[in-house]
Amino acid sequence: MSAGQFLLVLRARWKAAFGTLAIALAIAVALSFVLPKKYTAFSSVVVDVKAIRLPALAYPLRFTTSTMSTQIDIVQSARVAQRVVKTLKLDQDAEFRRKWQDHTRDVVT
């Protein structure tokens, strides 16, 4: 079948082609509204001490300090802490909760 013949078939059956396209589009739009939005992401942070030592020879203080400072800021962030509590279900552990309340005196920062 040549391209010209294909176009002739489309011209003759344009209502069926358009109808099929419209139905497919309507189903896609309906599903996008009905199905729940779910985005899952996983991440992990690994500090490789061996990799830090090699560039540290060229940039002794700047590289090591900035790299470790960034890693410490990430690990100490409230967002990471909340994710750990949620993942490990520590908020449901009575003993852990009591220790946390004793340590922080119920103050949330």
* Confidence bin at 109 (pLDDT 50/70/90): low
Phi, then psi, of 76 in degrees rounded to 5: -85, 0
Q: List, for residues 82-108, the tens digit of each pLDDT value.
A: 888 888 888 888 888 888 888 877 666
64 in any annotated domain: yes
The answer to whether residues 53 and 83 belong to one domain is: yes
Question: How far is residue 30's CA from residue 48's CA, in Å, rounded to a whole number?
Answer: 48
91 in any annotated domain: yes
Q: Does 33 score more than 80 pLDDT? A: yes
The answer to whether residues 53 and 77 belong to one domain is: yes
The answer to whether residues 61 and 17 belong to one domain is: no
**Residue 28 confidence (pLDDT):** 95
78 in any annotated domain: yes
Range of the domain at 82: 49-104
Contact 67/48 with Cβ under 8 angstroms?
Answer: no
Number of domains in the chain: 2
**Residue 48 confidence (pLDDT):** 62
The answer to whether residues 57 and 84 belong to one domain is: yes
70 in any annotated domain: yes
Q: Which residue has the higher pLDDT, 89 or 71?
A: 89
Q: Does 15 score more than 80 pLDDT? A: yes
- The model's pTM is 0.34
The closest alpha carbon to 45, from 65, 82, 73, belongs to: 73
Q: What percentage of the chain exceeds 70 in pLDDT?
A: 76
* Confidence bin at 25 (pLDDT 50/70/90): very high
Question: How far is residue 96's CA from residue 20's CA, in Å, rounded to a whole number?
Answer: 59
The answer to whether residues 14 and 60 belong to one domain is: no
**Residue 99 confidence (pLDDT):** 84
The answer to whether residues 27 and 62 belong to one domain is: no
Q: At what angle do helices 49-58 and 60-75 cross, to 10 degrees?
A: 150
